């Protein structure tokens, strides 16, 4: 395990052998009440169990007293921690139980812990940003190759039909972004957060544009450069291992797919300043593709600690108020693709499951369980609407590059597929 | 002239016969500097003239000293006032000169007068709302029939192709709204601000829904009721002469085309409360179609005084922050149709021009000039991007009525046309 996702903090304890006390049973009843609407029962380490009443979705198996207490005190963080540590298990279909439990709290008002997290969010300065990004994206290309599509596109796909395969849907997404942006041969594009380079290479190959693509993940940029060389696109796509904030010059197009979540709200004003500068041309335009929320609240505490440190999924109101408007840009088009992200995550999970023995062998049981939960819970969040996926197309207010109608985006796309 | 648009305040003075003094020439030079980038010259009442330098778009003819002073002191209000009163005239193509002058100030920072107007905006209480709406919409159906399409659709049209005719484009807009909303036979729809009823009748006729349509303009609602009766849709469409805030019950769909501009920002929270209540269903969804801005500023002072009292064109950020988010709704789709509104306004103007003798005969010269300017300046505002036209589609966060892709909206539309 390279830079360990779970290098510290997760303690895997042996299961308790003590019998549940009356206090334990009282705590179990409280836990049961909180998840009863999900149809999920509770079973303690000695076999003591409670029933949700009504149809049964599955059971939470609590392995020790500490786990019982912890999950009651701070469920937002502890479900993830304790599941990873094998101190909580699930009986029944894992995805069904995770979605059912997620749905119970969807309308919960924002908690004091969440308010604190919003308030305490630190700006992702250049150094911190690098550390946060490497935590997740430098796990090794081999790891991501186990369950992503062959091009390693690690963002929401676009399924032209619900039955499309992941590979097709990722290509369709790359192309949808290009069509929305109406790329023309010879134009210049800046891409902020380019992942393994699939979009940059697609834009250059299929639309004849010149791309400068930024990323601060070493593993990804090395892969992308090698691919550009191999595919003969090295002269048209420049991959730069640097923070997008260091971009200079002007471009026809700005595009960023799946990076805004890592920018952090405190940095929105600097992103606005960059956007305003880099596409300040009569034909300038741009697209932001990002995980968002309908109301402002931090990501789940466990996700922030273990999966995406420094990440924040903004509301459309925050993005328009803090980025688009200060950058003097005009919103041309917004599309919410949350159901496509739920589908994408299901496809990732369906590939992750058979790869689990290999993941476990390389990264350990706790890591494997953490990723299983992360993929499953994320799918649930998009399916039930606690997370959204927005694509926002914009241009300087008086830009002349507005498409006459959207219809051509879809007729062209229909022709491609 | 019924409820007079220009009943008071506009003084039509005879042209000055005095020669321009050195002070007048100094003021004219200041005016000339402010509009020089538009390529527009200045000519005073005695023939004294100044040149913008470079290519000439046209000239402003200033008819008296008071007009010269007033337009310098408060151009936002006085261009409209003085043009209506024949104290300013335009030499050259009217639309070209208006657009050129509008473009000069597009990047102007917000003035203290505009800040004051934003701050002083009063909530449109029920009584005030009625007065404001009747001011504009109760000018008489005959007036609007002179220059709108036969269905009297007085909102931005949707041109499937740039060469579509106004009538086609209005039908295409009505249908686009229905397609975006994915109306199903038997569903219930609430329409807030229904104009002369074209959308309500289209929804009922083409999609088999039941509509309750609200409007506080007496003239419009009378016309709409009569049309529903004549077309045999009286059982499926109920036109109600009342404020949308008095709506009760729950519906599958909320739709409002061209009303939000009249709601006023102080009433956004009550609209949010209504939206949250009326479409709080698993299949609930809604659409707001409205004139918007990229950055918050009041409408032009003259427009607010003479054309649309109480109106405000909100930013997308204001709508998402103050309506969508408090209503716990999820934005599914946003489309900016500003170029379609510029085209619509051009078509209206092209019909208005030949009808001017009739307008003048009925309402007087000042009214006729005011409307000529209003239509022309509005076209310019959409063309240059100082006004936007947003269609925002939304649904409760966990609604299950989300379309899989937009493609079907456009393929269906293509089939229709």
- What digits encode the pLDDT tens for the residues B349-399? 999 999 999 999 999 999 999 999 999 999 999 999 999 999 999 999 877
Q: For chain B, where do the domains classified as CATH 3.40.50.150 start and end?
A: 126-416
Region A245-254 average pLDDT: 92
Q: What is the pLDDT of residue A61?
A: 97
pLDDT at position B16: 74
Q: What is the pLDDT of residue B107?
A: 80
Extract long-range pairs of A82-87: CB within 8 Å, 24+ residues apart.
Answer: A83/A369, A83/A370, A83/A373, A84/A6, A84/A10, A84/A306, A84/A366, A84/A367, A84/A369, A84/A370, A84/A373, A85/A10, A85/A11, A85/A12, A85/A13, A85/A366, A86/A12, A86/A365, A86/A366, A86/A369, A87/A12, A87/A13, A87/A62, A87/A63
Q: Which pLDDT belongs to residue A124?
A: 65
Residue ranges, comma separated, of all CATH 3.30.1050 domains in chain B are 5-91
Q: What is the pTM assigned to this prediction?
A: 0.94
Residues of A in contact with B335 (CB under 8 A): 332-333, 406
Mean pLDDT over residues B16-41, rounded?
93
Q: Which CATH number fits domain A5-91: 3.90.930, 1.10.357, 3.30.1050, 3.60.70?
A: 3.30.1050
DSSP at B298: P
pLDDT tens-digit map of A302-314: 998 888 888 899 9
A399·B385 Cβ contact <8 A: yes
pLDDT of B414 higher than 70:
no
pLDDT at site A107 = 80
> Quick one: average pLDDT of A176-182?
96
Q: Which residues of A touch B (CB under 8 A)?
A: 106, 158-162, 294-295, 315-317, 320-321, 324-325, 328-336, 338-339, 384-386, 388, 390, 397-399, 402, 404-407, 410-411, 413-414
CB A161 within 8 A of CB A182: no
CATH number for the domain formed by residue range(s) B126-416:
3.40.50.150
How does residue A7 score in pLDDT terms, banded at 50, 70 and 90? very low
- On the question of pLDDT at B155 being above 60, the answer is yes
CB pairs under 8 A between A and B: 120
**Partner-chain contact B407 A407, CB within 8 Å:** no
Is A106 close to B397, i.e. CB distance below 8 A? yes
Q: Is this complex's ipTM strictly greater than 0.95?
A: no
Contacts of A163 in chain B (CB under 8 A): none
Report pLDDT for A3.
37
Question: What is the pLDDT at residue A413?
Answer: 57
Query: B400 pLDDT band (50/70/90 cuts)?
Result: low
Tell me the shortest Cα–Cα distance from B291 to chain A, in angstroms: 13
Top-confidence residue, A331 or A108: A331
Rounded to an integer, what distance in angstroms lies between the CA atom of residue B304 and that of residue B374?
Answer: 11
pLDDT band at B236 (very low <50, low <70, confident <90, very high): very high
pLDDT at A309: 84
The per-residue pLDDT for range A20-57, each reduced to its tens digit, is 999 999 999 999 999 999 999 999 999 999 998 889 99
Q: Where are the beta strands (DSSP E) in B265-404?
A: 285-292, 329-336, 388-396
Answer whether B404 sits within 8 Å of A334, measured CB to CB.
no
Distance from CA of A163 to the nearest CA of B (A): 11
* Share above pLDDT 90 across residues of chain B, in percent, rounded to a whole number: 75
* Gap between the Cα atoms of A323 and B58, Å rounded: 39
């Amino acid at each position: 395990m390279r830079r360990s996702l779970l290098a510290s903090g997760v303690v895997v304890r042996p299961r308790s052998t003590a019998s549940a006390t009356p206090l334990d049973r009282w705590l179990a009843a409280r836990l049961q009440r909180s998840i009863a609407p999900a149809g999920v029962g509770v079973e303690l380490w000695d076999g003591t169990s409670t029933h949700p009443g009504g149809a049964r979705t599955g059971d939470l198996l609590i392995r020790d007293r500490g786990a019982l207490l912890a999950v009651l005190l701070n469920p937002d963080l502890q479900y993830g921690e304790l599941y990873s540590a094998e101190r909580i298990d699930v009986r029944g279909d894992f995805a069904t139980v995770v979605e059912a439990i997620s749905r119970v709290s969807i309308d919960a008002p924002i908690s004091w812990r969440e308010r604190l997290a919003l308030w305490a969010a630190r700006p992702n300065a250049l150094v911190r940003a690098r550390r946060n990004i490497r935590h997740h994206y430098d796990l090794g290309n081999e790891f991501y190759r186990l369950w992503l599509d062959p091009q390693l596109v690690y963002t929401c796909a676009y399924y032209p039909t619900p039955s499309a395969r992941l590979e097709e849907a990722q290509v369709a997404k790359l192309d949808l972004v290009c069509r929305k942006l109406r790329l023309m041969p010879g134009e210049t594009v800046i891409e902020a957060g380019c992942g393994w380079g699939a979009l940059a290479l697609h834009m250059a190959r299929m639309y004849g544009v010149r791309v400068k693509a930024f990323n601060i993940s070493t593993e990804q940029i090395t892969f992308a450069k090698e691919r550009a060389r191999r595919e003969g696109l090295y002269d048209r796509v420049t991959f730069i291992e640097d923070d997008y904030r260091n971009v200079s010059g002007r471009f026809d197009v700005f595009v960023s797919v799946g990076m805004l979540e890592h920018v952090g709200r405190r940095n929105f004003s600097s992103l606005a300043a960059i956007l305003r500068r880099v596409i300040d041309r009569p034909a300038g335009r741009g697209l932001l593709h990002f995980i968002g929320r309908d109301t402002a609240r931090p990501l789940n505490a466990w996700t922030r600690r273990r999966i995406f440190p420094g990440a924040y999924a903004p509301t459309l109101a925050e993005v328009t108020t803090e980025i688009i408007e200060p950058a003097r840009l005009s919103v041309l088009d917004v599309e919410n693709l949350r159901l496509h992200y739920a589908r994408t995550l299901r496809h990732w999970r369906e590939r992750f499951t058979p790869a689990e023995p290999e993941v476990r062998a390389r990264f350990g049981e706790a890591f494997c369980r953490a990723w299983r939960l992360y993929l499953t819970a994320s799918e649930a969040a998009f399916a039930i609407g606690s997370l959204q996926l927005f694509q926002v197309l914009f241009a300087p207010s008086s830009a002349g590059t507005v498409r006459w109608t959207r219809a051509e985006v879809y007729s062209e796309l229909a022709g491609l597929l």
